[in-house]
Amino acid sequence: MTTRLEDFGVTDYTPLMSLVPRQFSIFEEIGLIQEADVHYGTQEVHEFERVTLGEDEMNAASRGGDRNFAGDDETQKESFRIPFFPLDKVTTPAEVQGFRQWGTEDAPANVDTLVNRRVERIQRSHAKLRRDAFYTALVDNKVHAKKGGVDTALAKNFSTVWGAARNTDSMTLGTDKPFDKFEAARQHVIAEAGDNADAYEMIAIVNSKTFDAIVSDASVVAAYDSYASEQEPLRERLSGNRNNRVFRHKGTVLLEDISGKIPDDKAYVTPLGIDGMWQLAYAPADTIEHANQIAEASYLFMKENYRSVTIESETSMALVNTMPQLITEIDVTIP
């Protein structure tokens, strides 16, 4: 551990965050965001980039004659201020002593337990924040930046920023075949993404009530009854024993989300595996010493003065969808 800003009695315990394995949201586990699209910046404002790939005609020409020239790919850059999320706790004398003793040769075993318990709680809270950010992006089509449950000015709408509206559709179970609607969403992605991406798979995210209604639909029930998911690659990514059910049919994976964050009357259909579509950016800690330094995903400090000791944790992060037009939001009517 390194003591930071000694005149202010602040000790940096950020390395302790690696003691506890990071908890991943279901969206991270299924690969909605690629590792290459996670940015650790040096500023509190991050410039996100959306690239639309193009192609050029190559016409036959006479040797020694006029040549063909390539055009440029279309690039759009937009700046987002990264929301800041602190989480502090006024700690007990035992915890203070535990943090000071952790890592020393003569530290008792209960010190490790105490420190791990406090770090685990903080890690769980940070994991919840990341999950909330994914649901806000998926359901509300905006950056997660709430205060007291109310959006702040940093909660930018993706369609407004990029000038690209989401695709919308509707279906009534018992009348419409749900997987025909999902196929229409896939065709929309093909039309919009073109040759920019051809290795993606389509995933439809619904809550438990809608999942049960879809797999009970007359057009689906026989396929679902005979479906064996044990060898399902997506199922394997979800560790196999997760409560979230998956069902693959006609080129789309139906994913049950049990979080309670997905409305009863909605299905969200999105491609997985399109580079740059989902991007996650982190900004440095809110300290003088960390200004202009490469960000970490989260920070942990212990701040002391003669009256109190506080454990401070923080993260600055923004999850951004640069291609909102590739998501199809379907209104679902269950008779």
pLDDT digits (tens, 9 = 90+) for 82-95: 999 999 887 777 77
Range from 26-35, 135-144, 164-173, 178-187 carrying the lowest mean pLDDT? 26-35
pLDDT top residue among 136 and 64:
136
Domain contains 205: yes
Question: Does the residue 138 lie in any domain?
Answer: yes
Cβ proximity of 158 and 320 under 8 Å: yes
Task: Give me the number of domains the chain comprises.
Answer: 2
In a domain, 104, yes or no: yes
* pLDDT at 72 > cutoff 60: no
Q: 292 in a domain, yes or no?
A: yes
113 and 176 belong to one structural domain: no
Question: How high is the pLDDT of residue 141?
Answer: 98
Q: What six digits make up the tokens of 28?
A: 């991270």
Res. 160: pLDDT tops 80? yes
Alpha-carbon distance of 7 to 255, in angstroms, equals 52
Assess whether pLDDT exceeds 80 at residue 134: yes
Task: State the chain's mean pLDDT as an integer.
Answer: 84
Burial class (CB in 10 A: 0-12, 13-18, 19+), 183: middle
In which residue are the tokens 């602040």 written? Answer: 10
Length of the chain: 335
Distance of CA 46 to the CA centre of its chain: 16
Q: Taking 60 as the threshold, does the pLDDT of residue 239 lie above it?
A: no
Residues 117 and 184 in one domain: no
Both 98 and 244 in one domain: the answer is no
Residues 143 and 175 in one domain: no
pLDDT of residue 55: 60
Percent of the chain with pLDDT over 90: 49
Whether residues 172 and 240 share a domain: the answer is yes
- Using CA atoms, how far apart are residues 62 and 79, in angstroms rounded to an integer? 46
Q: Among residues of the chain, what percentage have pLDDT more than 70?
A: 83
Please, what's the b/e burial string for 252-263 (b: 16 or more CB within 10 A of its CB; e: otherwise)?
bbbbbbeeeebe
Average pLDDT of the segment spanning 164-192: 95
Q: In this predicted structure, what is the pLDDT of residue 65?
A: 73
Q: Which two tokens stand for residue 216?
A: 């009970």
Q: Are residues 89 and 47 in the same domain?
A: yes
Residue 139 has pLDDT above 80, yes or no: yes
Q: What's the CATH number where 194 sits?
A: 3.30.1930
58 within a domain of the structure (yes/no): no
Say if residues 11 and 4 touch (Cβ distance below 8 Å): yes
Which alpha helices (H) appear in 194-252, and where do they start and end?
A: 208-215, 221-225, 233-237
Residue 57 belongs to some domain of the structure: no
What does the pLDDT read at residue 265? 93
**Do 263 and 285 lie in a common domain?**
no
Q: What is the pLDDT of residue 105?
A: 72
Specify whether 283 is located in the same domain as 145: yes
* pLDDT band at residue 157 under the 50/70/90 scheme: very high
- pLDDT of 242 reads 57
CB–CB of 245/227 below 8 Å?
no
- Identify whether residues 283 and 263 lie together within a single domain: no
pLDDT of 107: 72
Contacts of 70 (CB under 8 A, 6+ apart): 56
Most confident of the following: 82-86, 114-118, 233-237 = 82-86
The pTM assigned to this predicted structure is 0.83
Let me know whether 221 and 205 are in one domain: yes
Specify the higher pLDDT residue, 272 or 178. 178
* pLDDT surpasses 70 at 8: no
Q: Is the pLDDT of residue 75 over 80?
A: no
Domain membership flag for residue 199: yes
Average pLDDT over residues 179-193: 93
Question: What average pLDDT score do residues 193-210 get?
Answer: 81
Domain enclosing residue 329, as ranges: 158-276+325-333
* pLDDT digit string, tens, across residues 91-111: 777 777 777 777 677 777 666
Same domain, 150 and 296: yes
Residue 268 forms part of a structural domain: yes
Looking at the fold, whether 118 and 166 belong to one and the same domain comes out as no
- CA–CA separation, 48 vs 214, rounded Å? 37
